[in-house]
Amino acid sequence: MTETRIQIGRLEGFAAAILGGFGVQDDHAAITARRLVEADARGRTGHGLIRLSPYVDRIEAGGLNLSPNIRALHETPVSALIDGDNGLGQVVMTRATELAIAKAETSGLAWVGTVHSNHAGAAGIYPAMAADRGLIGMYLAVANANGMPPWGGTERVLGTNPIAFAIPAGATDRFELDIATTVASHGTIKVVAQAGEQMPEGWVIDAAGNSITDPKRAHEGSLMPIGGYKGAGLNIAIGLLAGVLNGSAFGKSVIDHRVQMDIPTNTGQAILVMRLDLFMARDEIEAAMRAKLDELRNTGADGGRIQLPGERAAARIADNTANGVPLPEPLRLQLNELAGRAGMTDTLGQEGPSGATRPAVGQR
């Protein structure tokens, strides 16, 4: 499969124009496009532009509110509940994160939850927004489709329920972790399917406990939790804190946004943001964080250096910012088809030096 590298600004403008062509207001289209391209730039391609087509499907089905009144329902100096009014999830979560950052900068920390939100893309983007301001961020979300039973159960009432952290260690270093609590996410499975590849064993199992490796048959089986019963328990904790606590969907009330496209999902998310200086001076804690991260990095064979979570994403961001984001050929064609449906005459694929095609490399 070939890929075309396209500059970030070009992709954001193209995606925003598609959303605008389907009735999304300009500022919401720009925010959503930015978050989708950020996901691709970080290597979280299952939550990047591959999601634009299903978003459009939901818009056309009437499942999204294109003129939402996004507002705080309950608010204290250190908390808020944001009603997304069924707006695009990236817009809702961007507002929630910006509010949490503002509150944390003033009060030291803040927890902001969402109700009546939607799929908001890559989890790691939102705590990274806090880290960009020198703050610690933690994000939780209830997934938009169920595919896993509780440990010991048989009914699939749990989703991929992600958790993400970003912990800055000064201006040039940080620790980032972005994981689903299932071995594979629906987005990753979608990327594998689009590439015409098979899933590894252990991602999805059938009722008899046998692995399903055909991504087109993934819906026939159950996702597997990370870490066995421990991951399954963490999944439930996230659902309670990002769903039930907010009055959002969790368990049997979750709507599969891929199937029931005309029904609001009432997705729940939560973001915790806190200042570094709550326990000691900022320069002291930043120095301690940097020293500890370097200590962990220098634990490879013969004293060699290893990569910590988030470092590969940082390298991809740097490369993709400089050289353009790799766009697989099936996705490029899909985006051009969406652009045509949106009434656009512009197409992706003739981008000059940054748009040369090359073989796909590396794991996405």
Which amino acid is it at 78?
V
Q: How much is the average pLDDT of 166-179? A: 96
Task: Kindly report the pTM of this predicted structure.
Answer: 0.92
Residue 3 is predicted with a pLDDT of 87
Across the chain, mean pLDDT equals 93
pLDDT at 145 over 50: yes
Q: What is the pLDDT of residues 249-308, one digit of tens each?
A: 999 999 998 899 999 999 999 999 999 999 999 999 999 999 999 999 999 998 899 999
* CATH ID of 2-61+324-359, from 3.40.50.880, 1.10.1530.10, 3.40.50.1970, 3.40.50.450: 1.10.1530.10
What are the sequence ranges of the domains in the chain? 2-61+324-359, 71-182+225-278
pLDDT at 41 over 70: yes
CB atoms within 10 A of CB 214: 13
Task: Determine the topology of domain 71-182+225-278 in CATH.
Answer: Ribosomal Protein S8; Chain: A, domain 1 (3.30.1370)
Q: What is the pLDDT of residues 349-358, one digit of tens each?
A: 855 444 433 3
Q: What is the pLDDT of residues 191-250, one digit of tens each?
A: 888 888 999 988 999 888 899 999 989 888 999 999 999 999 999 999 999 999 999 999
- Are both 2-61+324-359 and 71-182+225-278 of the same fold? no
Q: How much is the average pLDDT of 62-90? A: 98
Residue 350 is predicted with a pLDDT of 58
Between 221 and 139, the more confident residue is: 139
Q: Are strands 109-115 and 79-83 parallel, antiparallel or unpaired?
A: parallel
